[in-house]
Amino acid sequence: MTDSTNTRELILGILTEVNEEGRYSHLVIRSVLEKYQYLTKQERAFITRVSEGTIQRRIELDYIIDCFSKVKGNKMKPLIRNLLRMSVYQIKYMDAVPNSAVCNEAVKLARKKGFSGLSGFVNGVLRGISRGLSEITYPDPEQFPVEALSVRYSMPEWIVEQWIRDYGEARTEQMLSASLEQAPITVRTNLARITPQELKERLAGEGVTVEELDSEAFPELFYAFAISGIDHLNGLESFRQGLFYIQDISSMMAAEYAAPKEGDCCIDVCAAPGGKSILLAEKMKETGCVEARDLTEYKVSLIEENISRCGLSNIRAVQQDATVFDEGSVGKADVLMADLPCSGLGTLRKKTDVKYRMSEAGQEELIALQRSILDTVYSYVKPGGTLLYSTCTVHRGENEENVRWFVKEHPEFKVEYQRQIFPGEHMGDGFFIAKLIRQR
């Protein structure tokens, strides 16, 4: 597929599925790239960059479009709205693509999709934007601080307000900036099969760029690297052989703080896709047992696929609803991992549409679910055992306030460690970790 219009047609399809049909961006993009594996590396990179960037910057792009169009974006036909968004993203953020080419390709695509009557409108809006982009007046940060940050960083205003209230303006702007950065791909060595140095050499031999982590910031993660320069993972023999596992740094740290001992019984109540569970199993060196649980057959199949690839014998996947009490697990776990469903606001670099899906009401529902699960599973922990509670979000209600509630309800647990990791801090996602020890 060398016709640029066809490549852009795939992007338009991705945006339609995500913005109009409510599908998850990372899943839709992955599905398209898997379906069209014959595309060149450059074409695949273009599809990924424009799709993710357009979704990520949607609020700003809509603001720009509304500055130049008499018909506001929310009144446009969905296909035309998404076509303009992806085109404005290229004009503003991709210098390698000539503005004239962006306009011409958008007009051709509008006609191909049956909107010949609107091709002149598309052309007029995009030509106006390409000429007047530098003259756009953005909201005044002094007069309208929340709106200004919302437009500049394409973040819904309610999240900006919440973060300012909870963490202050300086930290909020750092998080907003980090949410638009390119997330590094971090991997950890399967220590049961290969040493970190041998993996580094294998990856380099496969044409992958390997960067070691800051040893002062992450002394525990001697087995982890940041990698780049890959097209798709399944093209790497080292990945197919299970020599490494893709995992965010913050997620690795959660398993590190859980600190299982050889021979321990570990239960992970919301385990999919299984990264933390597998790391626990690796840390126990083929001893003990890890039970990786999740709600649906599909999620359990993801865990099983990763267990199989990594080749571990001391871990099994089980379909189990974490909100349903399991009598057989009471007093069984030396380590209980509770990485619970959350608002996901720490993962915005990778899951670019999460910020548009979530709401304050949605957060309240999640807090209730998190408390319900904690109230159900806490008794699985042995006296002296560890409950590791974690989320991939930045929200006091789901994090610190949940821990405060839990120890009030269950005073037999004591907080040993608690930390909010902010987005972009030390390369990782935003993440919350609380380690609680059962005293009796």
Per-residue pLDDT of 267-324, as tens digits, reads: 999 999 999 999 999 999 989 999 999 999 999 999 999 999 888 999 999 999 999 9
pLDDT value of position 215: 78
Average model confidence (pLDDT) for the chain?
Answer: 94
The CA distance from 116 to 50, in Å, is 24
pTM of the model: 0.92
Q: What is the tally of helices (H) and strands (E) in the chain?
A: 17, 11
Instruction: Give the Cα-Cα-Cα angle 98, 104, 108 (nearest 5 degrees).
Output: 145
Average pLDDT over every residue of 56-61? 98
Judge whether residue 149 has pLDDT over 90: yes
Q: Are 314 and 287 in contact (CB under 8 A)?
A: yes
Map residue 224 onto helix, strand or coil: strand
pLDDT value of position 2: 47
Q: For 151-155, 209-213, 342-346, which range has the lowest pLDDT when averaged over its residues?
A: 209-213
Instruction: Give the Cα-Cα-Cα angle 109, 114, 120 (nearest 5 degrees).
Output: 65
Average pLDDT over every residue of 103-129? 96
Q: Please report, as a single letter, which amino acid is at residue 176.
A: L
The encoded tokens of residue 413 equal 């647990």
For 236-264, the pLDDT digits (tens) are 999 999 999 999 998 899 999 999 999 99
Give how far Cα 338 sits from Cα of 228, 257, 333, 343, Å: 31, 13, 12, 15
Give how far Cα 336 sits from Cα of 171, 250, 303, 340, 385, Å: 32, 18, 17, 12, 8
State the catalytic residues.
Answer: 392
The CA distance from 189 to 205, in Å, is 16
pLDDT value of position 230: 85
For 358: left if phi > 0, alpha if psi spans -120 to 50, otherwise beta; the answer is: beta
pLDDT value of position 213: 86
Angle between helix 58-68 and helix 145-153 axes, rounded to 10 deg: 100
